[in-house]
Every structure is written in structure tokens, then in C-alpha cells.
A and B are shown apart, each in its own frame.
Chain A
Amino acid sequence: MACVACGSETKAGVLMCKRCLEGILDPLSLLTRLGDPTADLRLQQLGSAMMRIGPVASSGLEFGEGVEPALRLRRLADKEEHAQLRSLVEEYLASAGLALHLWGDERLPRRAFLWRLVDEVGPLDLRGEMWARASVRMGNLYSLMVLAVSELPVDDSWRADFIKDSASSALSLYSRAKEHRPLWRVAQSNTAMLRAWTGRTEDSLRILDELASFRVDKETMHFSLKRAMVLCDAGRHDDCLEELARIPEELMDARTKRFRAQLEARR
């Protein structure tokens, strides 16, 4: 085989060599479901309402450009204004569609600043629930990278290193939720997804089992769905359907219903 980028020799089944892979500046470009950046911009520009006074020909309310996050980040980081930095990061990640729960089929917008932001602020050790939430979101981004890269036919050593680094970053970020109990349960369920994607299905199921036991409610429903997804990926379709059947119809959200429909269609 040969590297598709430089033509140098590679192992069988390997499409890209380590040297070329290291030339990829934005790892997020390896995600398979990335949304159009201009469509994302349309939704981003919703903020910053602007009042008008005096006689105006059209609407009395307009929308301004708001504050450029990259510049604001630089300034806040320089001044060590942690409260505002936490808020900026949390808001930016949430607006990029990085939810607290991790599923694996997320569609993220193509934003050049997203990876740069996570790379820069991820290591900051700040306190508070907002930072814990932002950290869980950042952890999810690393986990999604693990999932994307684990499926790519690229240089083994590069992939192994990438997965190892990204997974440990994700776990370290998830651990920041420890002191915030409801969030910690979400972070644990995300850890379970990550473990499943790195081949540790049983560990994953055990974590989710613990989280989902004793109660069935809107919160644990998410854990049950994740458990069903892991079972499905492991080829245990009957167990998967059984797990789904534990979720009462009235608690099912759109994602769960869609997943169930897909499973039933396959049978």
C-alpha cells in the first residue's frame, strides 16, 4: 500500500502515513458528520440584539455582531478573569451543539476556533459547576475524536497514540464533574461510551448498569439508551431490544424512538 497523500510505502490497509497525518492541523476535520459552517454562522449570529431610537425606516430591533470569541478568550486568559472565561467557554461549546450527553452520532459545525479553544483552555484547572459542565463538553469532543479515528485506516502507531492521548484527555476532563453529582452521572455515562468505543464493552455496560439501576426516570432513560446502543454495537441485538423495552413509552425522546425504529427495521 501507499500513503494517499505522499505516496510513501505503508502497511497493508493503511491509507495514510504518520508524517502526513501529523500535517493535519484541525483534527476535527476527521469527524465524519460536520455541518456547513455558513449554516452554523446563521444560528450563531442570532445573539446581540440592538435597540434603535429615533425614526427608523424598518424594524425597531436589529442584531449586531456581538463579541468575537477568539479575541475575548485572549483577553480573559491574559487577565485571568476566570468567572468570565468559564462562562465564555461553556457558552461557546454549548452553542456549537456539544451537548452534555455523548452519543456518537453528533453533528458538529465546522468551526476552526473550536479545536483551538479546547486545546488552549482544556488544561486550565478552574473550579465550579460551570467549568465542570464545560469540561464534560470538551471531554465529549475528545471522545468523538477517539471514535472517528478508531474507524480510520491510518498508520497504527499514530492512531494508537492519538486514541491514547485523546481518551486520557477525555477522562481527565470528565473527572472534573466529580463534585457535581447529577453532572457526574452524565460524565460517567459518557466514560462508558468512550470505553465501549475503545473495545471495553463489558466495562462500559457495567458502568451504565450501575447508573441505570433502581430507577426509571427521564435521567436514567438516557443511561438505558446508551446501554442499548453499546449492546447493539456489540452485536447483542436481543439484549439491546430488551434494554429498550425497559424504557416506558412516555419517557422516550425522539432519539430513542428513532433508534428503536432503526433496530426494528433491521430485523
Chain B
Amino acid sequence: MTDVDLEARLDARLVRTIKEMGPEAYRALMAQLLQRMGLKVTAAALTDDVAFLEGEREGAKYLVMASRRPEHASEEGVRIAKEKAMAEGRAPVLILAHAVDGRTTDLAAREEVSLADREKLTLLIRRYELWHQLTKDADQVILEREGSRALPSAVPFDTLVQRADEDLRAGRNREALESLEAAVALKSEHDVAWRMKANAHYDLEEWDEALESVGQALRIRPGDPTTWYMAGVVLHRLGKLDQELQAYEQALRYARRLHPALLNKGATQFALGLREEALRTFDEMLRYYPRDPQALGNRALVLRSLGRDQEALEAYEAQASLHPDDVAALMGKASVLSEMGHLLEAVDAWKEAVAADRKRADLWLRLAQAEKAAGMLDEAKRSYQVAESLDIGLEEARQGEESAEAALSAFQPPSDRSSPREDGLAQKYVDAALLLQALGRSEEALREVDRALEIEPRSATAALRKAGILMDMGRLEEAVPALTPALKESPYPADAALELEAISYRMGRRDEGVRVLKPHLEDPEARKRTALAEASAGRPEAALELLGLPEGRDLSHDRLRALALMSKGDHAQSSELLAKLSKAYGPSPQLLNDLAVSLRMENRLEEAEEALERAIEAEPRYPDAWNNLGCLHYLQGAFEEGERAFKEAILLDRRPAFMLHLGMAQLARDDLDAAEASFGSALRLEASAEALNCLGIVAERRKDNARALELYEEALKRAPEFRDAQYNKARAKAALKVG
């Protein structure tokens, strides 16, 4: 093989990697490239496969449009880049991951758009030393995907597969199949080619052929979970549900946490009428992926089919709590409530669904139907009208509106309630407001409480109720003046102050909230909120002064006290308090976890470990406890155990801090590649100074001081006071000078 061959293969790999990498990584790569080219990147934004980066060099301002879209490798792409840049008064630069034709190059030259096409891009990546990192990432992806360390051995085969891959991505399935036929003719025992072939047939809806190819892939590698999963998907299309189920079971035999296989297994069981089994599958899935919205949603669906409406409702609520705009979850919740006959709650739930997507006629229609069922005819009429305006042909909406109209005209308003001048009438209106609020009918509740205030403008009870309703409705600005009478007249003046503080806090005016509470510090809740504010502001002593209740009276008070003690550095006392609490409240995972952290601060590592093990025994799906256990192992030099614990934490919750910790454990074992991958994952999740600093450490260990310096500088841009990054930067700089 010649050098030219090798270079061509390297370029092909680079381009493939660029096209396949995640959007954030792509944006980061482009930013990195521009920085190495001497451009100071001042802003970066990402839309689909296009990154827009603003940069400056020697007084000139640029707008770089870096696109992976094939359609941008054209004259049109040049025009877009030019327009965008001109709109911002910047010079246009267009970077493309695809080759361009002569006309495009000519246009770019005429329009003064600096152009880097596929060839130039790979050249730049190589020139600026980014290729090593890229290809390593690509190899890792290949290894993860194919589970094999064997790299492609023959150029023709490799080229065919690569071409097929590009065709598949571009939707040219027939062309991909041609390449793959040739590839399997060359290497009939290559399961990846067979799997790709199955993919192409699948996309062409050639189910039998897809099944045959997937069968070949399985013959070659019977233990590959992804292929078994694919077999299941194909069998589904063929309507062979029993076999489909078996395929997923095989997939899970080799990878018991394989997300799509678990999800489809449950769905297939459900389709086969095996509802209890489906429920068990989704329960199992939730053990591995406790925050997975699809698993939660499917579980809810199964529960509904089993008639376990209350549990279904809880599952939908859990799903919606993860993503408050998850329309499917909100729809599920609303439907269950409707079915359970909770008409008013259902109306609220449909309102939530509508709020999540106001442009869907079907949601407005369901809301209208729920409102009509709840007797809210005016509201129903309005909702039907909105549904019809969104989908003019929606016959159901038109009919619904007519029937609501008819019902409204037949409706006689109730006779007036007794004379407004009776004794205690204001209280009656306040009671009415409370009842309506309990039904979730805030607007009407507000009208009732306003009537109470007309009669008794200084009524503290009415004022508090009004503020409460307005707060429920999110009308915080209006709630503030509503509370004023209650501050002076209420039998519980602290209540009004607490509500005011809550509003101030929600509006981001925290100091104001603390000031409001000051005259009411005899109230335990006011003391706790003030103490929390003090502790959060880094004044633990002031917090502790407020937390003088004897232990055991109030759990949140005691927890707050333990936190303040920890922040003050009085770990012996905080450990003592937390030990008492965890004894009083039994095997509470959180108390045990907090106790362990406090013990660790006292350097009582063995006891801390014991507490964490108890916390995990009580709640094996507790990511914070796993993370803390990992930290303890790390501190004791048990890096492998630490790594295992961090991985458990990550399995439960992919938090950037956990990734960083995993990287630290790997770094301690001198596994630089693994550490770099973990820090990189952390960076992708959150572009933090810590992740950049850690990546700098890895670069330094690799003797790449220039890169390390760059990373430390980037970290310091994000957190200028970051001490470690400051030291590291100075060290890297010194090393560069010496070098």
C-alpha cells in the first residue's frame, strides 16, 4: 500500500468522523480549528448540522458557516454564507464537509466568500494537528459499534463499505446495496457488511431480504446484541411477533441493558397481550433508566390497560415531571383523569397539554371536550373555536362548538345568593374561593375573593386567599399588593410575610425576601428560610444562630443545621447530628449519604464507607451515594473500585460531575485514553472550566504542553478564579519556555 493510499484513507476516515460526530462535538471541533488558525472565536451557535461561529483576527471580523449538509456544498450554500455574514457586517467564511463543483468555487471567489471544501478541510485538520484526536474518537466509535478490534484489512472492501455507508446516510439505499453486494462477495464472513445490507433492505421495505441478511450477520456473530435487536425490528415488520419477542430476548441475553431492545420487548409483549410481562419489562427498564420518558410512558400505558389507573396517572406524572413539555405524557395524564371521571382535574391536565403545544388542533379539541364534560360550556365553546381555527376541516370541532352553544343557551344561571349585606358574608366569599381553588378554577375563585374584599377591604383572610390564588396562577406581581392588608391584620402575620418572601424569591429578589422575614423570626418557617439564605450566601455562623431548636423537633430544621455545621467546618458536630437523625429515621438513604459526607470531612473514611454502603443497600438506585462511594475509594487509593462506583452513578444519571470523577480515577490509573474520553463526555454535557482543566492535564501528561496551555486558558476564560487552572497554566507555560 502506498502513502497516497494511506493518506486517502485517512482523509476518508476524517470526513466520515466529522459527518458522524455529535452536533456539540462538531461545533467544538470547528471552534478548535478556527482557534488554531489564529482566529479568536467570540460566539458559536448550532442549528442542525450547521455551526455558525463569530471570530476576529487582527481587527477583521468573520462569520464562519461550517456545514455538514450536502446541500450547502453548492452555489446556494455560498449565497447563504454571504447573506448571513453581510447581515452582521462580517466577512463570510464557508467550511464544508462535502466536495464542491467548479461553479461553486467560482461563485465563492466572485462573492469574496472564503471557501474550504472537504479536501481543504481535511488538509486544515491535518495541518493543525487535530487529526489524531479525531481518528482516535472515530476508532473508539467503531470499536464500540462493532465490538471488535479488527481493523479493515483490504482497501476495496473498505472502500465499498465506506461508499455504502455514505449512500445509506444519503438515503441512496439501492446504490448502497450494490456496494454491499460487492463487499459481501469479497468478504462473506463480515457481519457488519451483512448488517448494513439488512439496513438497506429495511429502508427499502424489503423485509424478507432484510431478514435474510440479518440472519447471515447472526450466523457469523451469534452473540451480537445489536444484530439480534435488528432481527426483532425486521420480524416486527413481517408480523412475526412471537419471533420478534425471542429476538429481543436474545439481544438482552447479551446486553441486558440494551435500551431499544428493552423498549421493544415491552411493546411486543403488550401487543401479544402479555400485559403483566410487559409491565415487568418496563419496570426492569426503569431500574436501569429511571428517568427514561419512553419507559415511563409505556409503563403507564400498560397500567392503564390493566385498569390500574391511579398508578398509570402517577407514571404519567413522573414522565411529565422529567420534561414538563412532554405532550405525550400530558395527554396520557389528561386521558386517565378523564377516564377516572375527575372532570375538573382533566380540564387542568388538558390545559397543560395545550400549553405545551398550542398549535395542535387535536389538543384543543380534547380540552374542549373535557371542558364540556365538566359543564364549563363557555370555555368549551372557546376551545372548540380555537381547534377549528387551527384545523378548518375539523368537523368534530365544528359540531362540538354547536352543541356547546346549544347547551349554553339552555343554561339558566343560578339565582343570586343571599343579600350581600348579611353578617359574615365576606367570609362566605372567601370560603367559596377556597372551594373553587380546590377544584382548580382559579379565575372564578379570584372573582369570589374580590367580592369578599369589596365588603371587607381589610380582611386579612381574604387578602391571603387572593394572594394564594394569584400565586397559583403565576401572577406574582399582582400577588404582592394583594398581601399588604394581611401583613398587618392577620392572626398569623408571619403567613403573609412568608408568602411575600416566596414571591420575592421566585422573582429573583432574594435579599428583599429575607428583609420581609426579619420581623417574623419567631416563626420557625421564617427562621428556616432565613437560615437557608444565610447558609447559601456563605454565612454558616449566621445560619446557625437562627437554628436553635432542640434536635428532633423538626427534620428540615435539623438537616439545615447539619448543612450549616458542615459549611462552617464543624464536621464533628454535623456527623453527630446526622448520626442521630439517621438512627431516628431508620435506613434513610439520604441521611446516611449526608452522614457519610460529613464523616469523610472528618477523615473517618471507613465509617463513611460503611454509611454509604448502607445507603446503597437501602437504595441501590441512588446516584449521589454511588458517586460518594467512588470518591471515597479514590481518596483511599482504590482507583479501580472508584471507577466501578462512578460507572454505577453514571448508569443512573449521566451527570458531568460523575464523568469528571470517573476521568480522575482513570487518570490516577494512568489510563489517559479512558480519562480523556470521560473528560470529553463531561465537556459535551457541560462546557465547564473543570472539564477543560482536566483535559489540559491529560494533554500535559502526553507532553503536549501547547495544547494543555490552550485548554487551561479556555478553562480560565470560563472561571477566571479557578486556582488549579491558574497553577496548571503557569506550569504549562514554563514547560513550553524550557522546551
Contacts and interface: CB of A to CB of B under 8 A. Distances in A.
B314 A70 contact: yes
Nearest to A51: B631
A38 B528 CA distance: 14
Given A38-B502, A46-B560, A29 B432 contact: no
Interface string A18-42: 0011011110011011111011001
A32 B532 contact: no
A83 B314 contact: no
Interface string B616-635: 00110111100110011011
Contact of A46 (B344, B556, B635): B556
Task: With a 10 A CB-CB cut-off, give which of A24, A49, A86, A105 has the most chain B CB atoms.
Answer: A49
A254 interface: yes
A152 interface: yes
B522 A258 contact: yes
Interface stretch (B37-45, B67-75, B155-163, B593-601): B593-601
Interface string B541-582: 000000000000111100110010011000000000000000
Interface in B712-727: 715, 718-719, 721-725
Contacts of B722: 55, 57
Given A2-B417, A50-B627, A52-B631, A39 B661 contact: no
A232 B179 CA distance: 92
B434 A152 contact: yes
A57 B556 contact: no
A29 B439 CA distance: 9
B414 A2 contact: yes
B556 A4 contact: no
A7 B498 contact: no
Nearest to B502: A36
Contacts of A203: none
Nearest to B585: A91
Interface residues of A, number: 78
Contacts of B506: 38
Task: With a 10 A CB-CB cut-off, give which of A47, A51, A55, A78 has the most chain B CB atoms.
Answer: A51
A91 B555 contact: yes
A131 to B, nearest CB: 10
Given A25-B342, A32-B434, A71 B290 contact: yes
B566 to A, nearest CB: 7
A129 to B, nearest CB: 10
B241 to A, nearest CB: 27
B600 A51 contact: yes
B412 to A, nearest CB: 8
B484 interface: no
Nearest to A153: B431
Q: Report whether over half of chain B's contact residues are helix, strand or loop; otherwise say mixed.
A: helix
Given A46-B560, A48-B624, A116-B314, A83 B593 contact: no
A23 B439 contact: yes
B225 to A, nearest CB: 26
Nearest to B593: A48
Interface in A43-101: 43-44, 46-58, 61-62, 64-68, 70-72, 74-75, 78, 83-84, 86-88, 90-91, 94-95, 97, 99
A107 interface: yes
B634 A53 contact: yes
B27 to A, nearest CB: 22
A251 interface: no
A1 B597 CA distance: 61
Contacts of A105: 492
B498 A87 contact: no
Contacts of B591: 47, 91
A118 interface: no
A29 B438 contact: yes
Contacts of B657: 50, 52, 62
B555 A95 contact: yes
Given A48-B624, A91-B555, A107-B495, A7 B413 contact: yes
A33 B493 CA distance: 12
A6 interface: yes
Nearest to A16: B435
Given A33-B495, A44-B556, A84 B563 contact: no
Contacts of A39: 498, 501-502, 505, 529
Contacts of B331: none
Contacts of A51: 597, 600, 627-628, 631-632
A9 interface: yes
B354 interface: no
A256 to B, nearest CB: 13
Contacts of A47: 559, 590-591, 593-594
A71 B600 contact: no
Nearest to A6: B375
B441 interface: yes
B690 A57 contact: yes
A71 to B, nearest CB: 7
Given A9-B414, A94-B585, A29 B437 contact: yes
A154 interface: yes
B502 A55 contact: no
Contacts of A12: 418
A74 B559 contact: no
Contact of B498 (A36, A62, A153): A36
Nearest to B597: A49
A130 interface: yes
Contacts of A5: 435-436, 439, 441, 444
B411 to A, nearest CB: 8
A3 interface: yes
B586 A86 contact: yes
A168 interface: no
A15 interface: yes
A30 B585 CA distance: 29
A189 B413 CA distance: 48
A78 B286 CA distance: 14
Nearest to B427: A153
Task: With a 10 A CB-CB cut-off, give which of A32, A57, A84 has the most chain B CB atoms.
Answer: A57
A262 B491 CA distance: 9
Contacts of B439: 5, 20, 23-24
B575 to A, nearest CB: 12
Contacts of A58: 719
Given A23-B344, A42-B532, A33 B492 contact: yes
Given A4-B432, A55-B725, A67 B589 contact: yes
Task: With a 10 A CB-CB cut-off, give which of A6, A47, A95 has the most chain B CB atoms.
Answer: A47
23 contacts: A4-B435, A6-B375, A16-B435, A30-B438, A36-B498, A46-B559, A48-B594, A49-B624, A49-B628, A51-B597, A56-B724, A57-B725, A61-B597, A64-B627, A64-B655, A66-B624, A68-B318, A74-B314, A97-B554, A107-B525, A130-B586, A153-B431, A262-B491
Given A4-B435, A25-B342, A87-B586, 20 more contacts: A1-B418, A2-B415, A7-B413, A15-B435, A25-B345, A35-B502, A35-B525, A43-B556, A47-B590, A47-B594, A49-B628, A55-B690, A55-B724, A55-B725, A56-B724, A61-B597, A74-B314, A83-B587, A91-B588, A152-B435
**A-B complex: 10 closest residue pairs judged by Cβ atoms:** A2-B414, A87-B586, A55-B724, A36-B502, A64-B624, A7-B414, A29-B438, A49-B597, A57-B719, A47-B590
Interface of A: 1-9, 12, 15-16, 20-21, 23-26, 29-30, 32-36, 38-39, 42-44, 46-58, 61-62, 64-68, 70-72, 74-75, 78, 83-84, 86-88, 90-91, 94-95, 97, 99, 105, 107, 112, 116, 130, 152-154, 254, 258, 262
